[in-house]
Amino acid sequence: CDLKSPAVGILGTGDFSRSLAHRLLACGLRVIVGSRSPDRNADRFPAGVEVSTQRDAAAQAHVLFVALFPDHYSSLAALKGELAGKVLVDVSNGTTLNRSRPSNAEELAALFPESSVVKGFNVLSAWALLNGPRDGSRQVLICSDDFQAKNRVALLARSMGFVPVDMGCLSSARDIENAPLYLFPSWGSPFLCAVCLFFSFYIYNFFRGVLLPYMVNETLPLVSLVMLALVYLPGLLAAGLQLLRGTKYQHFPCGSTVGYVCASSWPPQLLLCSMHALYSLCLLCASSARYKLLNAAFKQVRLGQESSWMEQDVWRMELYLSFGIVALGVLSFASDVVSSGLGYAALSISTLHTLTFGWNRAFDPGQYEFYLPPTFVLAVLLPCIVLLGRLALALPCLSLRLARIRRGWETRLHQVHFRLPDEDMSTV
Ligand SMILES: NC(=O)C1=CN([C@@H]2O[C@H](COP(=O)(O)OP(=O)(O)OC[C@H]3O[C@@H](n4cnc5c(N)ncnc54)[C@H](OP(=O)(O)O)[C@@H]3O)[C@@H](O)[C@H]2O)C=CC1
Ligand SMILES: [Cu+2]
C-alpha cells in the first residue's frame, strides 16, 4: 500500500475489524487499527496493517470504522478532540428488533456531535467481508446526515467491490440496523398467502377423499398456479376499471398492498413448483405406484388383453410432462413476475400442463364427488380468466399498433409517390 495515501482507520480488534482490515488492505488502502492494547492484538492482523493506540489511529485516519459494540462507544469519549471533523462509520447491529429506540448510529452521533457519522456495512458478516464480494449479497446500505461523508464511504464500499445503496438520512439507521434481523425481509406476506391457499386446497382435497399421495402433489402446484394468476389479477382489474372509467388517474382500492404482496411472490411459487416436480419424480418410487401397476397388469391378464398401449393417453402424458418441465424452467427465470412477460408465459404453460393432465377427469361426471368438481378445475378457472382478460386487453392495443403501422406505411408510400416524378426528371 501507498504510505502517502490517507489511512483508513478501524477502532477495535475483533472479528469484524480483522475481516475489514483484510479487505481494505487487499484493495490497496493503507489501514491503521486502533486498539486499547495494540501490543497484544498486533499479531492477529496481516502484515501491512498498522496496529496502534486508539488515539494514534484517530489522529491519522480521516475515515474511521467503529468496530466496537455500542455499549462500549462511551469508552471513546476521551478521543472527542481527535475525532472532531472526522467521518465515523457505525457498523453495529442490533440484537433485537428496534421499533422505537434511537439507533446505535444516532447514539454515536449524539456522543460525537463534531464528527460526521455514517451508518453502513452492518449488513455484511465478517465472513462475507473476509471472502470479498463473491459470496452472498453485494449490497451495502448506507445513510448519513452529512452528504459528503456518505459519498466518501460509498466510494470506499465501491472500491472494495460492494454496491452502496443510499438509504438517505441518519434517521434511516434504525431500519438498516434492523435489516439483518429479518430472515426474508419481503417474503412474509407472500408466504402467508401461500400457506393459507395450501391449507384451503388441502382441506378441499381431503373432503373429496383423494388418495394421500395425490393430495399433496395436487395441492402444491395448484397453490402455485393460483398465486401466479393472482399476481396478474389486480393489474388486470385495475386496467379494466381504468378502461371503464376512461381515466387512469383514479385510485384503485388496496392497489399498493396487493402490488407489494404480488411483486415478491416469486420465491414461494418457485419453491412450490420445484417441490411438485420432485414429488412427482418420487411418486414413481412410492409403494402405491407399484400396486397400481400390478393391479392394472392383473386386470389386463384377466381381460385377455395383449396390449394396453393407448395412443391418446401416451400423447397426453408426454404433453403434460413437457408442459410441466417447460413451465418450471420459464418460472425459474421469471423472478420479476409482475413486470416480465415470462410470468404470463409460465402461467399459460402451467395451465396447459394442468389441462392436459386432468382433461378427462374434468369432463367425467363420475369424478364430481359430493357435487364438487376436481380441484384442478377450480385452479384452472382463475388462470383462464386472467389469460382471457389479458388477451381481451391486448387486442385493442394490438389493433391500435396495427393501425399505427398501417398509417406509417401509408405516409411512406405517399412520400414515395410524390418523390418519383422528381427522380424521373433527374434521370431524364
Ligand atoms: N462479527 C460480525 O460478523 C459482524 C459484526 N458487526 C458489528 O461490529 C461490531 C464489532 O463486532 P465484533 O468484531 O464481532 O466484536 P468483537 O467482540 O469480536 O470485538 C469488539 C472489539 O471491541 C473492543 N472492546 C471489547 N470490550 C471493550 C470494552 N469494554 N471497551 C472498549 N472496547 C472494547 C475490543 O477491541 P480492543 O481490545 O482492541 O480495544 C474488541 O476487539 C459490533 O458492533 C457488531 O454489531 C456487524 C456486522 C457483522
Ligand atoms: Cu404438475
Ligand 1 centre distance from Cα of residue 159 (Å): 24
Name all residues whose Cβ lies below 6 A of ligand 1. Answer: 12-17, 35-37, 41, 67-69, 72, 75, 91-93, 122, 125-126
Q: Give pLDDT, residue 135.
A: 52
Instruction: Output the tens digit of pLDDT for each of the chain's 428 residues.
Output: 444 567 999 999 999 999 999 999 998 999 999 999 999 999 999 999 999 999 999 999 999 999 999 999 999 999 999 999 999 999 998 888 888 899 999 999 999 999 999 999 988 888 778 877 765 567 889 999 999 999 999 999 998 888 899 999 999 999 889 877 765 555 667 778 888 888 888 877 766 655 555 555 777 788 888 888 887 777 778 777 777 776 555 554 544 455 555 556 777 788 888 888 888 888 777 777 788 889 989 999 999 988 888 888 888 889 989 999 999 999 888 776 555 678 888 889 999 998 888 887 777 777 666 666 767 777 788 889 988 988 888 887 788 888 888 888 888 877 776 665 555 544 44
Quote the pLDDT of residue 25: 92
249: left (phi over 0), alpha (psi -120 to 50) or beta: alpha
Within 13 Å and on the Cβ side, how many CA atoms surround 103? 25
User: Under DSSP, is residue 309 helix (H, G, I), strand (E, B) or coil?
Assistant: coil
CA 63/CA 66 separation, integer angstroms = 10
Give the number of whichever ligand sits closest to the CA of residue 276. 2
Residues 90-127 pLDDT 10s: 999 888 888 889 999 999 999 999 999 999 998 888 87
52 - beta bridge partners? 34
Looking at residue 285, what is its pLDDT?
77
Measured in Å, residue 400 CA sits from the centre of ligand 1 at 64
- Which residues, including other chains, have CB under 8 Å from residue 170's CB and lie 6 or more apart? 103, 105, 106, 109, 117, 119, 143, 144, 145
Q: Enumerate the β-bridge partners of residue 32.
A: 9, 50
On whether the CB atoms of residues 154 and 142 are closer than 8 A, the answer is yes
CA atoms within 13 A on the CB side of 224: 33
Are the C-beta atoms of residues 91 and 66 closer than 8 Å to each other? Answer: yes
Residue range 165-190, pLDDT digits in tens? 999 999 999 988 987 776 555 566 77
Rounded to an integer, what distance in angstroms lies between the CA atom of residue 32 and that of residue 51? 6
In Å, how far are 35, 113, 148 from 108, measured between CA atoms? 18, 8, 18
Q: ipTM score here?
A: 0.95
Of 409, 262, 258, which Cα lies nearest the Cα of 337?
A: 262
The C-alpha cell 445513510 sits at 143
Please name the residue that has the C-alpha cell 484517530. 58
Distance (angstroms) between ligand 2 centre and the Cα of 333 equals 18
Ligand 1 atom closest to 54 (CA) = 39
Cα–Cα distance for residue pair 403/396, rounded to 1 Å: 10
Q: Would you say 220 and 269 are in contact if contact means Cβ atoms under 8 Å apart?
A: no
Mutate to test the pocket of ligand 1, among 32, 64, 68, 75 (most ligand atoms within 8 A of CB): 68
Give the C-alpha separation, 94 to 71, whole Å.
11
| Cβ proximity of 175 and 152 under 8 Å | no
